[in-house]
């Protein structure tokens, strides 16, 4: 098990699904963890269970990031690990009928939220000469899926932003990596038609959907000092779906 004793970690959208599994993994490794946003009911319950804390947060708001980082700094210290996990998946019709509102909602949470998060912690991490950022991309950022142009666009962007940030922050000792989950058994995929879920599962070489805990272990590895020479890395955890 990776040792994150002394680390201060923020996990966005950490109340359920992959985010909750990441919170559990980081807390289990000894980090002081902040569950930032997501369902307040589930987030507070999870925080109580693992000895973390919950703070309401809107990843698409500059002001919310400022309040969050100020509160964390006051209560715990400067953030040393950031996991940009918050995301939405809201499949629409095909591109001819996809609304600007649908496209913009994906952009503001999945892409702008990741940018604002990295920007919010970069200064303190540079000054400290260390830090680890892990961004959640998706198999949707490695191949195209019908009716998901808003979602997939943002997940492709997360890959690019991760690499840009890795180049910029690397000289300061700050690592930036991404994890791309495949089809994972969480409530996020419930918005997709059952036949599409079954078809993608059948097309996965390992023959099943992944679990949130499997993604959390990948995030923990990249967040920890177990891979100190890895930055700009894309760790695809998809059962072989992107092959």
Total number of domains in the chain:
1
Q: Which residue has the tokens 């959640």?
A: 136
pLDDT at 196: 80
Averaged pLDDT score across all residues of the chain: 95
Average pLDDT over residues 37-47: 95
Residue range of the domain that includes 212: 8-237
In a domain, 3, yes or no: no
Q: What is the pLDDT of residues 157-211, one digit of tens each?
A: 999 999 999 999 999 999 999 999 998 988 777 777 778 888 888 999 999 999 9
Which one of the listed residues 54, 145, 151, 172 is annotated catalytic? Answer: 151
Nearest CA to 89 among 220, 209, 174, 191?
Answer: 191
pTM of the entire structure? 0.95
Q: What is the pLDDT of residues 50-63, one digit of tens each?
A: 999 999 999 999 99
Q: How many helices (H) and strands (E) does the chain have?
A: 8, 7
Average pLDDT over residues 27-50: 96
In a domain, 120, yes or no: yes
| CATH code (residue 59) | 3.40.50.720
Measured CA distances, 232 to 202, 222, 228 (Å): 31, 11, 12
Average pLDDT over residues 106-121: 98
To 10 degrees, what angle do helices 17-28 and 212-223 make?
50
pLDDT at 175: 98
Rounded to 5°, the CA angle 222-223-228 comes to: 65
pLDDT at 16: 94
Average pLDDT over residues 12-18: 96
Percent of residues, the chain, with pLDDT higher than 70: 100
In a domain, 63, yes or no: yes
pLDDT(65) > 80: yes
In a domain, 243, yes or no: no
pLDDT at 194: 78
Rounded to whole angstroms, the Cα distance separating 36 from 11 reads 6
In a domain, 1, yes or no: no
Phi, psi of 117, deg, nearest 5:
-65, -45
CB 191 within 8 A of CB 102: no
Q: Determine whether 151 is an active site residue.
A: yes
pLDDT at 1: 66
pLDDT(92) > 70: yes
Average pLDDT over residues 72-92: 96
CB 132 within 8 A of CB 223: yes
């Amino acid at each position: 098990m990776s040792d994150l004793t002394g680390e201060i970690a923020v996990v966005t959208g950490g109340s359920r699904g992959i985010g909750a599994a990441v919170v559990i993994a980081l807390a289990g490794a000894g980090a002081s963890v902040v569950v930032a946003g997501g369902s307040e009911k589930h987030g507070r319950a999870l925080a109580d269970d693992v000895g973390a804390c919950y703070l309401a947060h809107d990843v698409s708001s500059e002001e919310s990031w400022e309040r969050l980082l100020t509160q964390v700094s006051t209560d715990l210290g400067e953030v040393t690990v950031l996991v940009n996990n918050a995301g939405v998946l809201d499949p629409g019709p095909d591109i001819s009928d996809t609304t600007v509102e649908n496209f913009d909602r994906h952009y503001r949470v999945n892409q702008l939220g990741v940018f604002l998060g990295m920007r919010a912690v970069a200064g303190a991490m540079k000054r400290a000469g260390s830090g680890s950022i892990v961004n959640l991309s998706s198999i949707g950022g490695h191949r195209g899926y019908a009716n998901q142009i808003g979602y997939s666009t943002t997940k492709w962007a997360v890959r690019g932003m991760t690499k840009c940030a890795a180049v910029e922050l690397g000289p300061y000792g700050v690592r930036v990596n991404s994890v791309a989950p495949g089809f994972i058994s969480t409530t996020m995929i419930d918005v997709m038609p059952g036949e599409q879920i079954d078809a993608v599962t059948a097309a996965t070489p390992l023959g099943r959907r992944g679990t949130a805990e499997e993604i959390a272990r990948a995030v923990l590895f990249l967040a920890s000092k177990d891979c100190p020479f890895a930055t700009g890395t894309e760790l695809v955890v998809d059962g072989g779906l992107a092959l």
